[in-house]
Amino acid sequence: MMKGWRPIIIENSLVPKFLSYFAPIDISGIALGFIVFTRGIADDRLRRHETIHFQQYLETLFIGFLIIYLYDYIYNLILFRDGGVAYRLIRAEVEAYDNDIDEDYLENRVRYAWLRR
């Protein structure tokens, strides 16, 4: 079952630092499919946040996540004309930020709920 699956986490990676040059935020971690790259050592909150994204990838067969994520970002950017606001309003990010502090969230997470926002 997908619920118990966890991504591979690569800490102290240059990937988040590099991608931060192109992003509207300073990236501390990023899920790219089965792999999560973190800028430093990942604390529990960052691990949960990126694992939520990993679960979203699984739910949408990977390519769907990228399409939805990009669509949400562009739509929000057109609407709000602010990259930071556009990023924070991406459905995948809303779920991750709203729940990354909850230690039990991944065990109780409702599949696909983030798509209904």
Per-residue pLDDT of the chain (117 residues; tens, 9 = 90+): 466 789 999 999 999 999 999 999 999 999 999 999 999 999 999 999 999 999 999 999 999 999 999 999 999 999 999 999 999 999 999 999 999 999 999 999 999 999 997
CA dihedral 73, 98, 25, 69 (to 10 degrees): -20
Cβ–Cβ under 8 Å, residues 31 and 7:
yes
Q: Given this model, what pLDDT does residue 3 score?
A: 66
For 39-89, give the DSSP string. SS---HHHHHHHHHHHHHHHHTTTHHHHHHHHHHHHHHHHHH--HHHHHHT
